[in-house]
């Protein structure tokens, strides 16, 4: 191992090049992961923040809150949740999702609100201010903004209100009186979903995350290929030198360990620096860009890259193992 | 060390029944025209190549009956190599070149003293690219000696050196035989260096003859 470290340190110009390339690839992976995590959070933040793990929806809703229409029935153990995308329109139109829970419930934000009052995500405010009113474009129901609380759903701001306001709104809007889901444990004729299943059913969530996962996968494989190609080329360049080492009796394991340790150090350093930079980015990017640094994900992708890169060392290791010292010396001991 | 009836051919026979016995403390020079098979012979002596036929006894064992790992250990512990261009590891200092071999053998030879005896005491922490050709070749000799081998093989060790440095190298190799009791076999084209050896052999038509 020391042999490999000494080589890297004393030939740093050669190895810094591959380090920079590796760092950029890992960094690209972690930045994309940060964006994917940010978008994933942005897509289902309001669901994620709910203090409930079990959701009961109608079977035909396929886990989509906005497709589930349940006749409201009294229950002591479960909490109703109503979710409806609305277009608000005063001077300009703005999309948001209305979330309603009972005022006394503890599953969501504290809602000490009178009928018609709402709390909105800060991004909803724009030119509006606390105290302003906004109308539902379709029904004309008027809501009064009395405060802000963070909440996003399907990349749109969430407007939080109480069930009393939801009922009042439904009377104005017409149509059936319903809620979207019951939260909590209990027997219902409805279909049961976990929180993660509800998040994954948010429109666009799976397609979006699938795209990012594919990008990350390709980046990992491309990175590992580049790393393998580099160390393979370096091994080929060093064949006469490695032949000498084998000729004087140095074990293949000693030489191979040096090679593997070089790959390990390159990937570990690059992953560490990339994680630090991504954590820094998460702190400095504007709030408008959904970006999150998740330590577990950074570790996961670093570990995957590490494993793929180690697999990539099999080729140069095979070359090393097959190396005939006499051939490497060029047929002559010169 | 006893080499018996060695035959080897590439497209044509290059060694045809080579016999050679080298005693401890003996320094032998092998000369011969290019393509006569000198390097092939040295590779066979260095256990880097198996001949088509013949035996090589280092002690009671025919080394060609051993597997690759056993031959590697023999190379490490019993044979010291000196190559034409020294072939030092470019990223290791003079001292580390020897420590690399010592780490494999576990032998606690005084490498600092060995290098000092070879006039390299002031160059211990230098990398090979900062040494002269003569210094590099002396480091290669030290590397060959550090595992205290019984046999030293040198292939054109003076080819890239001027006369003075070449002479120093040859005298040090001869001293390894005469003072330390090693068996030393040197392949050389440089006739000015032959006088330091005890015997000079010519490889011609695939066989060794005494000059």
Is residue A287, in this structure, part of any structural domain at all? yes
pLDDT at B167 over 80: yes
- Identify any residues that bridge with B9 across adjacent strands, giving them in sequence order: B13
**What pLDDT does A74 receive?**
57
In a shared domain, residues A35 and A83: no
Percent of chain A with pLDDT over 90: 43
Say if residue A332's pLDDT is above 50: no
Q: With CA atoms as reference, report the closest residue to A185 among A79, A279, A105, A291.
A: A79
How many domains does chain A divide into? 2
How far does the CA of residue A269 sit from the closest CA of chain B (Å)? 21
What is the spatial distance between Cα A56 and Cα A192, in angstroms, rounded to a whole number? 5
In this prediction, residue A334 carries a pLDDT of 43
- Are A297 and A233 in a shared domain? yes
pLDDT value at position A166? 95
Cα A69–A74–A78 angle (5° rounding)? 80
Contact across the interface for A240 and B87, Cβ inside 8 Å: yes
Would you give the end-to-end CA distance of chain B in angstroms? 21
A217 lies in a domain?
Answer: yes
The backbone torsions φ and ψ at residue A233, rounded to the nearest 5 degrees and listed phi first, read: -65, -45
Q: Does the pLDDT value for residue A269 go beyond 50? A: yes
Indicate whether A209 and A323 sit together in one domain: yes
Per-residue model confidence (pLDDT) at position A328: 63
What's the whole-number mean pLDDT along residues A279-302? Answer: 87
Q: Is A135 helix (H, G, I), strand (E, B) or coil?
A: strand
Count contacts between A and B (CB, < 8 Å): 75
Residue A295 domain-assigned (yes or no): yes
Asked if the Cβ–Cβ distance from A6 to B153 is below 8 Å, we say no
Domain with A231, as residue range(s), is 2-43+205-328
* Residue B175 forms contact with A (CB below 8 Å): no
Domain limit, last residue, from A179, A214, A231: A179
Percentage with pLDDT > 70 across chain A: 96
| Lowest-confidence pick of A51-60, A255-264, B41-50, B101-110 | B101-110
Residues in chain B with CB shorter than 8 Å from the CB of A248 are 75-76, 80-81, 101, 143-144
Q: Which pLDDT belongs to residue A331?
A: 47
pLDDT, tens digit (0-9, with 9 covering 90-100), for A116-128 = 999 999 989 888 8
Interface test with B, best of A248, A254, A322 (most B CBs within 10 A): A248
Same domain? For A25 and A92 the reply is: no
**Is the pLDDT assigned to residue B121 strictly greater than 70?**
yes
Q: Average the pLDDT over A3-9 and give the result.
A: 91
Smallest CA–CA distance, residue A239 to chain B, in Å, is 12
Whether residues B155 and A246 touch (CB distance < 8 A) is answered with no
In chain A, whose CA is at the least distance from the CA of B127? A10
Question: Which of A249, A333, A334 is facing B73, going by the closest CB pair?
Answer: A249
What integer best gives the mean pLDDT of chain B?
A: 91
Q: Quick one: A76 and A150 in the same domain? A: yes
Residue A91 has pLDDT above 80, yes or no: no
Query: Is the confidence at residue A89, as pLDDT, over 90?
Result: no
Q: Is B69 helix (H, G, I), strand (E, B) or coil?
A: helix
Is residue A162 domain-shared with residue A268, that is, in the same domain? no
| A285, part of any domain | yes
The reply to whether B55 touches chain A by the CB within 8 Å rule is: no
Residue A128: its pLDDT value, please? 85
User: Mean pLDDT over residues B54-81, rounded?
Assistant: 91
> A22 with A282: CB under 8 angstroms?
no
Using the structure block, give the residue that is written with the tokens 């990223």. Answer: B91
A199 within a domain of the structure (yes/no): no
Q: Residue B158 has what pLDDT?
A: 87
Query: Residue A310's pLDDT is what?
Result: 85
Q: Is the model's pLDDT at A100 over the cut of 60? A: yes
Domains of chain B: residue spans and CATH: 2-203 (3.40.50.300)
Whether residue A65 lies inside any domain: the answer is: no
Same domain, A151 and A252: no
Question: Is it the case that residue B53 has pLDDT exceeding 50?
Answer: yes
Q: Which of A90-94, B16-20, B172-176, B201-205 has the lowest mean pLDDT?
A: A90-94
What pLDDT, in 10s, does the model give residues A45-59?
Answer: 899 889 999 999 999
Nearest alpha carbon to residue B155 among B6, B32, B2: B32
Q: What is the mean pLDDT of residues A150-166?
A: 92
Mean pLDDT for chain A?
88
Cα–Cα distance for residue pair B8/A214, rounded to 1 Å: 57
For residue B66 the two structure tokens come to 């051993």
Interface confidence: ipTM more than 0.90: no
pLDDT (mean) for B69-84? 91
Contact list, A10 vs chain B (CB under 8 Å)? 91, 127
In a domain, A61, yes or no: no
Q: Which of A135, A163, A179 is the last residue of a domain?
A: A179
């Amino acid at each position: 191992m020391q042999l490999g470290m000494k080589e890297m340190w004393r030939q740093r110009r050669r190895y810094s090049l591959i380090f920079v390339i590796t760092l950029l690839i890992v960094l690209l992976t972690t930045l994309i992961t940060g964006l994917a995590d940010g978008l994933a959070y942005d897509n289902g933040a309001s669901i994620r923040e709910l203090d409930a793990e079990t959701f009961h929806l109608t079977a035909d809703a396929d886990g989509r809150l906005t497709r589930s229409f349940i006749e409201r029935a009294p229950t002591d153990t479960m909490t109703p949740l109503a979710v409806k995308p609305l277009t608000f329109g005063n001077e300009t139109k703005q999309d948001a999702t209305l979330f309603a829970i009972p005022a006394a419930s503890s599953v969501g934000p504290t809602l000490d609100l009178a009928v018609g009052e709402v709390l909105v995500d800060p991004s909803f405010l724009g030119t509006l201010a606390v105290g302003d009113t906004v109308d539902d474009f379709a029904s004309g129901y008027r809501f009064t903004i009395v405060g802000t609380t963070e909440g996003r759903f399907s990349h749109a701001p969430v407007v939080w209100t109480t069930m009393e306001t939801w009922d009042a709104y439904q009377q104005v809007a017409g149509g059936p009186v319903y809620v979207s889901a019951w939260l909590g444990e209990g027997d219902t004729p409805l279909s049961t979903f976990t929180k993660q299943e509800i998040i994954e059913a948010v429109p666009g969530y799976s397609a979006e995350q699938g795209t990012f996962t594919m990008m990350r996968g390709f980046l990992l494989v491309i990175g590992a290929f580049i790393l393998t190609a580099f160390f393979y080329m370096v091994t080929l360049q060093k064949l006469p030198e490695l032949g000498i080492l084998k000729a004087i009796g140095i074990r293949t394991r000693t030489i191979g360990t040096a090679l593997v340790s070089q790959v390990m150090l390159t990937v570990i350093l690059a992953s560490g620096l990339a994680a630090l930079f991504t954590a820094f980015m998460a702190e400095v990017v504007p709030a408008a860009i959904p970006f999150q640094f998740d330590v577990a994900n950074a570790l996961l992708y670093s570990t995957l890259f590490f494993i793929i890169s180690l697999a990539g060392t099999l080729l140069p290791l095979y070359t090393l193992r097959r190396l005939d010292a006499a051939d490497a010396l060029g047929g002559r001991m010169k | 060390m006893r080499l018996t009836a060695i035959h080897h051919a590439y497209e044509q026979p290059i060694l045809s029944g080579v016999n050679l016995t080298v005693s401890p403390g003996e320094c032998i020079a092998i000369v011969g025209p290019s393509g006569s098979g000198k390097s092939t012979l040295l590779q066979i002596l260095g256990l880097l190549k198996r001949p088509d036929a013949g035996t090589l006894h280092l002690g009671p064992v025919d080394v060609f009956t051993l597997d690759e790992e056993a031959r590697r250990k023999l190379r490490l512990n019993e044979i010291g190599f000196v190559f034409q261009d020294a072939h030092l590891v470019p990223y290791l200092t003079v001292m580390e070149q020897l420590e690399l071999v010592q780490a494999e053998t576990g032998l606690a030879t005084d490498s600092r003293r060995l290098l000092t005896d070879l006039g390299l005491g002031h160059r211990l922490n230098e990398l090979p690219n900062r040494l002269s050709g003569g210094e590099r070749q002396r480091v290669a000799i030290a590397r060959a000696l550090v595992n205290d081998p019984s046999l030293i093989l040198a292939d054109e060790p003076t080819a890239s050196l001027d006369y003075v440095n070449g002479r120093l190298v040859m005298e040090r190799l001869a001293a390894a035989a005469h003072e330390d009791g090693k068996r030393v076999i040197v392949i050389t084209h440089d006739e000015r260096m032959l006088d330091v050896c005890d015997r000079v052999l010519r490889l011609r038509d695939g066989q060794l003859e005494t000059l």
